[in-house]
Amino acid sequence: MAHAVTPSTAPNSGPTPVAYEQALARYEPVLGLETHIELGTASKMFCSCPTAFGARPNTQVCPVCLALPGSLPVVNRKAVESAIRLGLALDCSIAPWGRFARKNYFYPDMPKNYQISQYDEPICVDGHLDVTVDTPEGPRVFRVDIERVHMEEDTGKTSHVGGATGRIHGADYSIVDYNRAGIPLLEIVTKPITGTGELAPLVARAYAAELRDLARSLGISDVRMEEGSMRVDVNVSVNEHGADEWGTRSETKNVNSLRSVERAVRSEIERQAGVLDAGHRVVQETRHFQENTGRSISGRSKEEAQDYRYFPDPDLVPVAPRGSGSRSCAPRCPNCPRPSAPACGPSGTSPTPNCATSSTPTPSTWSRRPSPRARRPPRRASCG
Could you list the residues that contact Zn ion (CB under 5 A)?
A: 47, 49, 62, 64-65
* Complex with Zn ion: residue 49 or 206, whichever CB lies closer: 49
Residue 278: partners with Cβ closer than 8 Å, 6 or more residues away:
14, 15, 16
Using CA atoms, how far apart are residues 195 and 5, in angstroms rounded to an integer? 34
135 bridge partner residues? 138
Q: Compute CA distances 275 → 15, 16, 195, 247, 270, whole Å.
A: 6, 8, 22, 12, 9
Least distance CB 68 / Zn ion (angstroms): 10
- For residues 255 and 261, the answer to whether their CB atoms sit within 8 Å is yes
Task: Write the CA distances from 89 to 219, 256, 330, 345, integer angstroms.
Answer: 12, 23, 8, 13
**Count of other CB atoms within 10 angstroms of residue 68:** 11
Q: How far is the CB of 39 from Zn ion (least distance, A)?
A: 15
Q: Report the nearest approach of Zn ion to the CB of residue 69 (Å).
A: 15
Of the pair 96, 182, the CB lying nearest Zn ion is at 182
- Cβ distance to Zn ion smaller for residue 180 or 231: 180
Q: Which is nearer to Zn ion, 100 or 289 (CB)?
A: 100
In this structure, what DSSP letter does residue 260 have? H
DSSP 51-67: --TTPPTT-S--TTTTT
CB of 56 to Zn ion, least distance (A): 15
Report the residue number, 33 or 65, with the smaller CB distance to Zn ion.
65
Q: Are 181 and 153 in contact (CB under 8 A)?
A: yes
Q: What is the rounded CA–CA span in Å between residue 287 and residue 235? A: 10
Q: Which is nearer to Zn ion, 84 or 116 (CB)?
A: 116
Least distance between Zn ion and beta carbon 51 (Å): 10
CB of 295 closer than 8 Å to CB of 10: no
For Zn ion, the closer CB: 65 or 193: 65
Closest approach, Cβ 154 to Zn ion, in A, equals 12
Helix (H, G, I), strand (E, B) or coil at 13: coil
| Minimum separation from the CB atom of position 215 to Zn ion (A) | 24
DSSP label of 98: B
